[in-house]
Structures are given as C-alpha cells and as structure tokens.
Amino acid sequence: MTQTQIHTSTRFTLHRAWLVAGVTFVAILGAAGFRATPGVLITPLEEEFGWSRGTISSAVSVNLILYGLTAPFAAALMDRFGIRRVVAAALVLVAAGSGLTVFMTASWQLVLLWGVFVGLGTGSMALVFVATITQRWFVKRRGTVTGVLTAAGATGQLIFLPVLAAIATTTGWRAAALTVTGAALAVVPLVLWFVREYPADVGLPPYGASEIVPAPPRAGGAARRALNVLRSASRTSTFWLLAGGFAVCGASTNGLVATHLIPASHDHGMPETTAANLLAIIGIFDILGTIFSGWLTDRFDSRVLLGAYYALRGLSLLILPSLIAATVRPSMVIFILVYGLDWVATVPPTIALCREHFGADAPVVYGWVFAAHQVGAAIAATGAGLVRNFTGDYNPAWITSGILCFFAAVMSVRIGRSQPAVAAS
C-alpha cells in the first residue's frame, strides 16, 4: 500500500465515538419498548382485572417518578461503576419487570413490577445516558448527536407501539409484555461488547478534539456526589427555571399524551390499534424534530428555542379536544405532525443549557432536571386518570396542560446568559 493510500485510509476511518453512539441509540431503543406499553395495555388490564383507570394510572405514576428520580443517581453511578455495568443492569431490570407482569394477580404487583422495577431500570439509563455519552465522547456535533440519541426513544415507540398494540389485540397483553422482555435482553450483549467508558480507554481523543484526554479517576460516593451537585445547582435561578419548564414538559408528553391519548381516543370510538398508530406517527415526526432541534442547538440560543417549543406545544394541546373523534380527520393529522415535531425537541437545548451553566457536573444536573420532568409526568398521569374518572372525559386535562406550556415558555426565555460553571464534585 502506498503512502497516499495509507493516508486516505486513515483519513476516512470512522471515529470510535460513532460506534459508541450507535450502540447507545440501540440500547435506548431497546428500553423504549416498555415505555411505549402503558397506553396500549391500560384498556386490556382494565377489562381483565376490573382495575379502574385511576388505579392503573397510579402504577404509571410510580414508574414515571422513579424514572426521573433515579436519573441523577444513575449519572453518578456511571462515574463510579462505569457506563457498561449500569446500563446492562438497567436493561436486565426492565426485562424482569416486564416479563414478571404475566404472573401478576393484584394491583400492588402492577405497581411493584410496572412501577418500581421498570421505573428504576429505565431511569438508570434514561436521558442522563445521552448526556454522559455526549459529554465524554464528543466535542463537536454535541447538539446533533444529542438530538439523534434522544430520538432513539421515539424510534423505539415507532417500532414497538403498532407491534405491541397488534400483539395485545390478537394474542393478549402478556405476549406484548414478553416481547418487550426479549427486546431489552437482546441489547445487553451489545452494550457489554462495544461501549467503552472514555475515548482514552482506546487511545483516542474525543470526537472533534486533537488531544487525548486522560480518563478521570473513578468517583466515589455516587449518592453523595448527586446530592452535592443538587445542593450547589439549586442555589441558582437557572436550575429552577430549567426544572420548572421540564416538569411541564413531562406533564404534557409522557404523563398526559403518551399515557392517555390511546384510551381517550378509544372513549370517542376510535379502535386502539388506530390510536396506537397515531402515537407511532408522532414518533416518526419526533425523530425528525429532535434531530433538527439538535442541529439548531449547535447554532442558535437554546433559551429562545425552548420558549418557541413550549409555546407551540401549548397551542396544539389547547385545540386537541376539538380534534379527537372516532375516525382520523385531516385536522388530527396536522396535530400529530406539529406535536410530534415538538415532542422531545426540548431535550437538546436543555442539555446544552445544563452544560453551559454547570460544566463538568452537567450530566448530574441534567439528571435532577429530568427528575422534575418525571415528577410532572407522574402528576399528569394520575391527574388525567382522575379527571377522566370524575368528569367522564379528558378535556380539562388537555386544556390545563396547554396553559402550563405557555408558563414553561416564559420560564425558558427568562434563563440568563451562561455563568461560570458551578462545581460541586
């Protein structure tokens, strides 16, 4: 081989960061299966066990709370024990929580398996996994990579929702739960074989850097570090504005639409498989919107982007009550398009603002901000179920969520310019 050929071959060698990012995408996609199941399984569980929609929604709420509260500790655990161990264990826990539901006979078992097991498992990888990978492996293209990895959850929804709805309808909800178990377990070997902790572990600089950055020593006291970071970050208005806006984000997406759009559509006479397909289509546009949001985050003010995203979401939710019907009308298709583009578009600018304001502690800070996201989601999941029980429809929930989104838009644009990073570790 000539010198020119060697030079050309070297120039076009794919950086290991892209392989790590690819496996991260697949891992998040694998865990997304169970995140997609609540809306599909609410009605089958209600029909088989006679549990009220409020009871089932309470299990979803436990799941959402733990999904969020686990995140900051998971980020610290990744620093302590390594990404591979934490993510592999999380996927196994998701698989166990999903698979064991086929044996349950009481509602407390639903709360334990669906709420606690899966909440802890998915929370241990969640979006802090994305923040950690991009922080360690990328200098350039961080916003774009964040958008692509965040879209993995939407891709999982896109893949699993129609499949799980069809399985639950034709074979039963237990077969759907076991399908999720298999998908989560299939990803574990990929994580163990291909993911490395830092670029320095394989003798490389981060993507976009020119020098190898030595891997830091393993951090001790993961819980202590997570709490110290929270104590330090909570002294800033930026943290509370980000957390407040993200709480509304969770309430208006995971808690409300992801959990209740299918049963709400069913209330109006729409078949569950059709409603599940609508959520899947949201997933298609979510992928496009999140990737585009990552691209925008690399180029524009993240505060302005967040304000625009929340305002647009609020407007779409305010008009949703007039759109739901037994059949899919063109106006509903427009809602699905707009709402889908906006679904997780908030994540790249939120992570970017955490990085700008909190430096090396950004993944843990984002974990706490994400915890607020899931608390908001849990409140909305239970609240919407109770609203349905007492009023007979979901309209008050849609309207309240839309108004809250406008408050989130105001909070976002009130975030100040970048300050010196807060160091708590």
Q: Residue 193 corresponds to which tokens in the numbers above?
A: 């074989």
Confidence band (pLDDT; 50, 70, 90) for 423?
very low
Structural domain includes residue 424:
no
Which tens digits make up the pLDDT trace of 140-187? Answer: 888 888 888 877 776 776 677 778 878 888 888 888 888 888 888 888
CATH number, residue 109: 1.20.1250.20
Confidence of residue 38 (pLDDT cuts 50, 70, 90): low
Domain span holding position 129: 16-197+220-413
In-domain check, residue 207: no
Which tens digits make up the pLDDT trace of 282-333? 877 888 888 899 889 988 899 999 999 999 999 999 998 888 888 888 888 8
Q: Which of 147, 159, 383, 168 is nearest to 284 (CA)?
A: 159
- As a whole number of angstroms, the distance between CA 398 and CA 188 comes to 38
What would the pLDDT profile of 352-366 be if each residue is shown by its tens digit? 999 889 887 888 898
At 53 the pLDDT is: 74
pTM value surpassing 0.85: no
Structural domains counted in the chain: 1
User: C-alpha angle 277/279/281, rounded to 5°?
Assistant: 70
* Statement: residue 220 has pLDDT above 70: no
Cα separation, 258 vs 251, in Å, equals 10
- Give the distance from CA 123 to its chain's centroid: 9
In a domain, 245, yes or no: yes
The verdict on residue 224 lying in a domain is yes
| 139 CB-near residues (< 8 Å, 6+ apart) | 206, 207, 208, 209
pLDDT of residue 201: 84
304 lies in a domain?
A: yes
So what's the pLDDT on residue 170? 87
CA–CA dist 208, 323 (Å, integer): 46
Residue 373 lies in a domain: yes
On whether residue 336 sits in a domain, the answer given is: yes
Q: Is the model's pLDDT at 123 over the cut of 60?
A: yes
pLDDT band at 190 (very low <50, low <70, confident <90, very high): confident
